[in-house]
Amino acid sequence: MNRATQLADIQSRIAAACSKAGRPGSAVKLLAVSKTFPLSDILEFHSCGQTSFGENYLQEALDKITQLADHPNAQTTGTHIDWHFIGPIQSNKTKPIAENFSWVHSVDRLKIAQRLSDQRPANLPPLNVLVQINTSGEDSKSGVNPDQAIDLCMAIQGMKNLALRGLMTIPSNTDNTDQLKIEFLKCKSVFDALNVQGLKLDTLSMGMSADLELAIECGSSCVRVGSALFGARDYSK
């Protein structure tokens, strides 16, 4: 199966899920999760019209960003990619993230948000950020407790170099759709509560390859799809 067909298949799944949920197809954005895959694969999907790519591992992402800057396509066709950082963030990684990405999906601490704002270069637009919510309650997962999300978002809203766009969650690793739905709706509830507070958020990042339809049913506006686009990952490389 070629890249254009793979991309079209995912777009069809998104459109069908939106239709079933009574939402317009344009309501949900596709983020292609390209971790562990080379820049050549990213450029293949980019040539088919995909412009947003998510990376979990900072050094790998920075290598790709550097390669893209030196790539002939970048010079001859003005290749543009919106890079989204979607992995856990340590304090010593905030500066390169602030300098190289358009979006960050995984802000879960005030300290991290403040460092991203302070280290965002003045010549770049505000960094689009999502606050990660831990809806499963698992200690192994990153994310702020839903009860603490509003305070964190209110604090981020006042940071001059950040644009608070919404929330992200990674639900339990389970096939139990009832449990997944509970967790997705918990994040949607926080999202709605923040908008009632006047924050005017527009992005709810929920759902991956296996559960994007359920996430869309629960209100997701951004699905993070990796394996269904790129294929199975080989973490031994």
Question: Tens of pLDDT along 145-164?
Answer: 999 999 999 999 989 999 99
How far apart, in whole angstroms, are the C-alpha atoms of residue 66 and residue 149?
Answer: 34
Domain 3-230 fold: TIM Barrel (3.20.20)
pLDDT value at residue 236: 59
Give φ, ψ of 108 to 5 degrees: -135, 5
The alpha carbon of residue 213 and the mean position of all alpha carbons in its chain are separated, in whole angstroms, by 16
According to DSSP, residue 51 is labeled: -
Give φ, ψ of 135 to 5 degrees: -85, -15
Cα Rg for the chain, rounded, in angstroms?
Answer: 17
Contacts of 180 (CB under 8 A, 6+ apart): 171, 172, 174, 211, 214
The list of the chain residues with pLDDT below 50 reads 75-78
Q: Which residues are bridge partners to 2 per DSSP? A: none
The amino acid at residue 108 is D
How far apart, in whole angstroms, are the C-alpha atoms of residue 220 and residue 14?
Answer: 11
- Contact (CB, 8 A) for 127 and 104: yes
Q: State the pTM of this model.
A: 0.94
| Count of alpha carbons within 13 angstroms of residue 213, beta-carbon side | 9
Kind of pairing between the strands at 52-55 and 103-107 = unpaired
Which element (helix H / strand E) includes 60? helix 58-69
Token pair recorded at residue 2 = 């070629």
User: Which sequence spans correspond to the domains of the chain?
Assistant: 3-230
Give whole-number Cα distances, 196 to 160, 189, 199, in Å. 22, 11, 7
Place of tokens 């040539």: 47
Listed residue (181, 227, 214, 187) closest to 203, CA to CA: 187
Which element (helix H / strand E) includes 104? strand 103-107
Listed residue (222, 224, 213, 219) closest to 16, CA to CA: 213
Burial tier of 209 (Cβ tally within 10 Å: 0-12, 13-18, 19+): middle
